[in-house]
Amino acid sequence: MRDLADQLGRLVSGGADAVLGSVPSALTSDATEARGLRGYGDAVVFPTTTEEVAAVTAWCYERGVPITPRGGGSGYAGGAVPNGGVVLCLERMRRVRSLEPLLWRAEVEAGVRTVDVQRLARENGLYFPPDPGAAEQSQIGGNVATNAGGPHAFKYGVTGAWVTGVEAVVPPGHVVRVGGPVRKDVAGYDLCSLLVGSEGTLGIITAVMLRFIPAIEARYPVLGFYPDARAGAAAVEACLASGVVPAALEYLDEEAIEIVRQAFPAAMPVEPCFAVIAEADGSKREASDARRVLAEALSDGALAVEEPAGIREIEALWRWREGVGFAADAVYGGKVSEDIGVPVDRLADAIEGTREIGRRRGLATCSWGHAGDGNLHATFLFSREDADARTRALAAAEDLFELTEQLGGTISGEHGVGLVKAGQLHRRWNASAVELHRKLKHLFDPANLLNPGKKAP
């Protein structure tokens, strides 16, 4: 596709390597690779300014060429897996446009990595709470496009809660700026929230306005270990009833614990167990008081309760928790992991149901996730060489969505719909609401060229 690349090359600065005439394999997949998902495309473009994004979009729109916006490629829904056309990579748009620490706010371009936004806040005495697990790889534009969560979303909310404005290019190539540093604004529809979580199907996010809060002085996690999921889920509810709002409230089921047991940085019971992690935060005194209450709430029915002390132990604990997904990848090489969300009082049903589906389909399972949010990473494991097991894992995911519907939950709590759950919106919304999604998509993108085949029907 040299011709396509030559023409795109005239629209962007950045030299010969700002456009590629073929799509390298690293850009035809995302974190769904472990389930065997791979797309195809005709060219890649790396714009460095919003005007270049607008020019590329206009050029593609005039010629009927599909566009796949791509951030860090860490998505678990196949949203950045191209369906032909142009892969538009935001990684060269990484300027911090403004930073006002005393007003707790910044405007950054879409390609700034998540970890760099977190660092920017930290180095200025501030805190940016969204903490999705692939922070070294993901970009803030991708986080906003997926409305990413993370462990601390329980107390602080998901990425969208920290976005006050968005700059985006919408078809057929117009730049819009919605929201901004105004704290209250009801003039018009909430277009900013509409673009948040739109997974690159309504617009290409080029910059975001973010809010921060003053840095948190202390974080004290507490761990409870339980004989099974029922006892663990009861402990999660006891934490909620305690009156303290934990900053994070996480769990690992018995199978997930076995996968990462060897790497656990402290002591844990030798028998199979289910773990709950609750973190208290605030000033040193607040966090210490809250830890005491949470430890008491977690102790009922527990095999053991641990309170890691010292910054090193606490950091090691969170690194261990972040490593669960990678460790699950390594068991057999393949996995289908779904991020369902259920009402928190149905958590044990969802965990046990995942296990039961795996048993029926002849697959090993494990699950872990954001217990307080009722958000599970329900995972079916298989060997990549075993095509039959992969088919069974995909069927198991369908069973899981059915179970989720029965439990009054959602097919995606944080990764989005993307390609892997396209066509499943009816499981979450009634026919009229699905139709509204279709109309919205058509309004923004009448030729269906922006990330076609993803999210909306």
Ligand X SMILES: Cc1cc2nc3c(=O)[nH]c(=O)nc-3n(C[C@H](O)[C@H](O)[C@H](O)COP(=O)(O)OP(=O)(O)OC[C@H]3O[C@@H](n4cnc5c(N)ncnc54)[C@H](O)[C@@H]3O)c2cc1C
CB of 137 to ligand X, least distance (A): 6
CB of 263 to ligand X, least distance (A): 15
| Contacts of 11-17 spanning 24+ positions with Cβ under 8 A | 11/45, 11/47, 11/52, 11/55, 11/56, 11/59, 12/45, 12/46, 12/47, 12/48, 12/52, 12/55, 12/56, 13/48, 13/49, 13/52, 14/46, 14/47, 14/48, 14/92, 17/46
| Contacts of 358-364 spanning 24+ positions with Cβ under 8 A | 358/396, 360/396, 360/399, 361/392, 361/393, 361/395, 361/396, 361/399, 362/389, 362/392, 363/389, 363/392, 363/393, 363/396, 364/255, 364/331, 364/332
Cβ within 8 Å of residue 449, ≥6 positions away: 60, 61, 64, 65, 66, 67, 85, 171
Residue 188 near residue 129, CB atoms below 8 Å: no
Q: Which is nearer to ligand X, 151 or 297 (CB)?
A: 151
CB of 101 to ligand X, least distance (A): 25
Q: Which is nearer to ligand X, 141 or 341 (CB)?
A: 141
Q: Which is nearer to ligand X, 252 or 297 (CB)?
A: 252
CB of 23 to ligand X, least distance (A): 14
Mark 394-430 as b/e (b = at least 16 C-beta within 10 Å): bbbbebbbebbbebebbbbbbbbbbbbbbebbebbee
CB of 262 to ligand X, least distance (A): 19
Residues that bind ligand X (CB under 6 A): 30-31, 68-76, 79-80, 90, 110, 132-134, 137-139, 141-143, 145-146, 148-150, 199-200, 204-205, 325, 414-415, 418, 451, 454
Q: Which is nearer to ligand X, 56 or 145 (CB)?
A: 145
Residue 273 near residue 226, CB atoms below 8 Å: yes
Q: Which is nearer to ligand X, 76 or 238 (CB)?
A: 76
Q: Which is nearer to ligand X, 76 or 154 (CB)?
A: 76
Q: Which is nearer to ligand X, 39 or 142 (CB)?
A: 142
